[in-house]
Every structure is written in C-alpha cells, then in structure tokens.
Amino acid sequence: MDKFVINGGKKLNGSVNVSGAKNATLALLPASLLANGISEFRNTPKLNDVFTMLKLLKQLGAGYTFENGIVTLDTTLVDNFTAPYEHVKKMRASVYVLGPLLARYGEARVSLPGGCAWGPRPVNLHLEGLKRLGAEINLEDGYIIAKSKRLNGGKINFDIPSVGATGNIMMAACLAKGETIINNAAMEPEITNLARYLISMGAKIEGLNSSILHIQGVDFLNPANIDTIPDRIEAGTLLIAGAITKGKVNLTNVDIRHMYSLCEKLEATGVKLSYNSNSVTIDATDSELNSVDVITGPFPGYPTDMQAQWIVYMSVCNGTATITDTIYRDRFTHVPELTRLGADITVKDNSAIVKGTNKLRGAKVMSTDLRASASLVLGGLAAEGTTEVLRIYHLDRGYEGLESKLGQLGASIERVAGSEY
C-alpha cells in the first residue's frame, strides 16, 4: 500500500489545473447504458473509482477506450444486467447502473451497497422511487432484483434530496412512458451535468438547477458526447491547501458557480479570493486566519465532502469553530488522526468543535476514507516536520495526481510504494 511522505511548513505558490469531477463521471458513464452505440465523455479524470465503473460496465458487455481524458463507451453488446458485490462493495456509486439497466432492458440485479466507514448509507430512496415508476423490486441474497415491463412515469417526493436517488430515478424516467415529476430533487452540479447529457441523448427534462424536475419519457435515446464539469471538491481542497499554508494558489478549469458556499466561508476566514470566468486565485500570504463555523447541507449549501478539509483548516485558525455535518452525522473518522498531528478537536453528536492551535506537528497518520485522507494531506502540508499519510489508496479513488499538483505548487510530497499498514 502506498503512502505519502510530506515535509510540511512550505507556503504553496503557483497555478494548477483542476480535473473533471469524479461524482459527475460516475453518473455520466452508466447513463450511456440508456442508448445503443458509442458515447464520448471528455474531461474524464483518471481515478480508481472511474476505472471501477469502467470495469463494471465492461462486465455488463460494454466496450471502452480511455485516452487523453476521453472515455469512449460502446454499449452495443451489453447483455449482462448484474452488478456484483465485488464491484459495489468497492464503490457505492455502482448502484447508478440500476436505473438505466431497468429502464432499457427491463431487469437489473445489483448488489446492495451496505454501510461505509461512517455509518449506514441506505438506498431506500432509489428503490422507492423506482417502485413509483412501476418496477417490481425484491431483495434476495444481498441483491436488489429489479424487474419491469416498460416503466411508467410517476410523481416522486424525496424526503431527503439524495444525489444518487435523483440521478438513478432521472435516468430511469427518461425511458418511462409518460411524465415523471421528482420533487425535492438534488440540485448538485453533477446532477445538472447528468441532466444535460441525457438531454443531448434526446431526453426531455425541465427544471435543471431546481428542486423540481419534470421528465417526459421518450421511446428511445441516442448516444451522445458530453464535457464533464470541473471537480468542485478537488478545487476546494486545493484552495484550502493554499489557505492552510498561507500561500497563493491559482486554479484553472473551475466553475465558481459551483463553489459559492465554500468561497464565502474562505473569505470570512480572512483570505483574499479573486475570480475569472474559469479560474480562481486564493491569496493567504498576508492573512490573519480566523475561525468560521460551517454547517454542511445539500447544494447550494456547504458540501459534506469538504467537511474534513474545513476541520483541519480550522485547526490552524485563530479561535474556535463548530463544524456540523447534517448529511453524514458520523463522518468524523479523520478526527482522531488529525489529533495525532496536534489538532484540538472534540466531537459531540454530529458536530466537531475545533480550537485553533499555533502549530500542527508531523506524525504518522492513517487514511480512513477519501475526504478524510485529503484532510490528512492538508494537515501534513501545514505541519512542522514530516507527516506520513498511510493507506492513500483511499485518496487515489478521487484525486487525480494530487501529489504532482501539490508538488507543482511547491509542496514537498512524495509517494512511497510499500507494504506498511
């Protein structure tokens, strides 16, 4: 298992390009199952999660190439409708094949995802939504068995604006007979990116960027090409890397409209931000960094995927901040590891209370999940001395070439291949 060795305390300075969004790609690729033929996905990030999705689609019968950031997917020979446990346990987003397979082929067998390191992550909203469209759904031997003749449009009201359930139902509804209305739909930019791809395939979807989606089912969809939006979580992580090291970092290939909540919070801490149409610069070189509270929420709220990074940032700011996660109430596995770097954090219910300290100190720390790993890397960049971040395979799921991007900004960070646990 690889690890990162970071010699911290260096101010980051320079410019890097942000990759395509992991969470958009993981929805876009399976959407190609809704049509017969070849689709092209540009600005696709090279990430382990993306390779996991491509392997799953291959197992279903699709062919693909992946070169220069472009995935070409051919769904002509798809003839297998099972997403096995081996895939789904690696990556919950595998459940995105459920809606498309069911809508196009009338059947799907998808392993139940189970929980994850920070608690239960149910798929009840996906299943209830598909049932509303007329699917027959049974759970057998740990698998979701879904069957249907042609799906029918229906009205769906989500109790929670789930990203995955909105994506799955939206994809299925495109080929249903009649109109589907999704109320309290997720408004995350990745969902809008997916909707735009579906529309370019011939789907009839109204209400993009809003919480009510109207989908008129069509008889068939055609393959299409799409540009993946920039990864707002990677961009946010790199902005915090600039802030936490009191550096000056410019990011290109960003869409600032997807990042207002984070940017506002960053500015409130005392850093300077400046924007162009597709770039943002953070300047913390002369800033007094002050603590700012955060409460995560569905888009356009502050993203839960930026919660761990904010906690480590608050660890070096003046004052005390409370960070509350309303999406994943137990998502705090990074806290004991950050404490090893000298952070002063107390978790109470779904909040972390972070007292700023003058200095973090390097230590060996263990990644527990994707965004937790990112927070440990940020801690290592800010800490005095050497930090070793173990088990960075978590990080490789969702950050494309993070060490080379940080290296380009002047960080001392090295990947060491090895077997240390």
Give the nearer residue to ligand UD1 in terms of CB position, either 50 or 62.
Answer: 50
Count the Cβ atoms, other than its own, within 10 Å of residue 263: 18
Q: Quote the CA–CA distance of 208 and 186 in Å, as a whole number.
A: 10
Considering only 6, 101, 165, 194, the residue that binds ligand UD1 (CB under 6 A) is 165
Q: How far apart are CA 127 and CA 112, in angstroms?
A: 11
Number of residues that bind ligand UD1 (CB under 6 A): 21
Q: Is 125 an interacting residue with respect to ligand UD1 (CB under 6 A)?
A: yes
**Distance in Å, CB of 245 to ligand UD1, minimum:** 25
Which segment (34-42, 161-169, 204-212, 381-389) binds ligand UD1 by CB under 6 A? 161-169
* Tokens matching residue 383: 């800490």
Pairwise CA distance, residues 217 & 170, whole Å: 10
Residue 174 designated active-site = no
Q: Which is nearer to ligand UD1, 163 or 241 (CB)?
A: 163
Residue 62's CB is within 10 A of a number of other CB atoms, namely 22
Nearer Cβ to ligand UD1, position 6 or 170? 170
User: Judged by CB, which is closer to ligand UD1: 187, or 249?
Assistant: 187
Q: Minimum CB separation from ligand UD1 for residue 88, in Å?
A: 12
Minimum CB separation from ligand UD1 for residue 8, in Å?
Answer: 27
23 binding ligand UD1? (CB under 6 A): yes
Q: Is 305 in the site for ligand UD1 (CB under 6 A)?
A: yes
Residue 121 as a binder of ligand UD1 (CB under 6 A): the answer is: yes
Packed helices 22-31 and 189-200: angle between N→C axes, nearest 10 degrees: 30
Q: Where are the beta strands (DSSP E) in 91-247?
A: 107-111, 136-140, 143-147, 155-157, 179-183, 204-206, 212-216, 225-227
x-or-dash pattern for ligand UD1, window 175-204, by CB under 6 A?
A: -----------x---x--------------
In angstroms, what is the minimal distance from the CB of 416 to ligand UD1?
27
Q: CA-to-CA distance for 219 and 202, rounded, in angstroms? A: 10
* Cα distances (Å, whole numbers) of residue 48 to 22, 105, 117: 10, 28, 18
Contact indicator for 110, 144 with CB cutoff of 8 Å: yes
Whole-angstrom distance, CA of residue 291 vs CA of residue 12: 21
Near ligand UD1 by CB under 6 A: residue from 123, 170, 176, 205: 123
Give me the least distance between CB of 101 and ligand UD1, in Å please. Answer: 17
Whether the bond between 300 and the residue before it is cis, its omega within 30 degrees of 0, is yes
Torsion of CA 356, 358, 363, 368, to 10 degrees: 20
Which single residue is written with the structure tokens 């595998």? 94
Burial of 58 from C-beta contacts in 10 A (0-12 / 13-18 / 19+): middle
Residue span binding ligand UD1 (CB under 6 A) among the ranges 61-69, 99-107, 157-165, 242-250: 157-165
Separation of alpha carbons 202 and 172, rounded Å: 14
| Contact string 53-92 vs ligand UD1 (x = CB under 6 A) | ---------------------------------------x
Look at residues 270, 277, 266 and name the one whose alpha carbon lies nearest to residue 239.
Answer: 266
Q: Are strands 155-157 and 179-183 parallel, antiparallel or unpaired?
A: parallel
Could you say whether residue 292 binds ligand UD1 (CB under 6 A)?
no
When binding is defined by CB under 6 A, the residue of 29, 53, 163, 173 that contacts ligand UD1 is: 163
Nearer to ligand UD1 (CB atom), residue 139 or residue 160: 160
Q: Which stretch binds ligand UD1 (CB under 6 A): 62-70, 159-167, 175-183, 410-418?
A: 159-167
Exactly one of 39, 82, 162, 228 binds ligand UD1 (CB under 6 A); which one?
Answer: 162
Q: 255 or 384: whose CB is closer to ligand UD1?
A: 255
Residue 135 interacts with ligand UD1 (CB under 6 A): yes or no: no
Tell the smallest beta-carbon distance from residue 114 to ligand UD1 (Å).
12
Active site residues: 116
Name the residues that contact ligand UD1, by CB under 6 A: 23, 26, 92-93, 121-126, 160, 162-165, 186, 190, 304-305, 327-328
